[in-house]
Amino acid sequence: MALADPDQMSQVFINLVMNAVHAMPDGGTLRIGLAPEKQMVKLTIADTGHGIPRDVIEKVFEPFFTTKEFGQGTGLGLTVVKGIIEEHQGSIVVESGEGKGTTFTILLPRS
């Protein structure tokens, strides 16, 4: 079990899953994993979507940064996700490659 607020974790899940769905407009695979890792709980959300270019990946957690078309997003989703995770004394990292999908890895303290 992770030490986390269920409502805030729902917001994290919804945001990351919806981003994955948007990254796979023609379909693909979404994988969600949960495993123990030392004194933490490791959550992974991975998709087989279009991926994030290297020059963009460094900016994805910045407020108001978005790659979506005007009116499709505010650029706050991943900023909020990162804030929630950090409020829970956790961490979040993203790995991606163009055409190879994206994986978000979250570590949260065990309860």
Could you read off the pLDDT of 1-30 as tens digits, one per residue? 888 999 999 999 999 999 999 889 999 999
Percentage of the chain beyond pLDDT 90 is 64
| Residue 17 vs residues 36, 38, 55, 110, 111: alpha-carbon distances, Å | 21, 26, 23, 23, 24
- pLDDT, tens digit, 9 for 90 and up, residues 35-58: 999 899 999 999 999 998 888 888
Q: Residue 82: which of 99, 105, 103 has the closest Cα? A: 105
**If you classify domain 6-109 with CATH, what class do you get?**
alpha beta
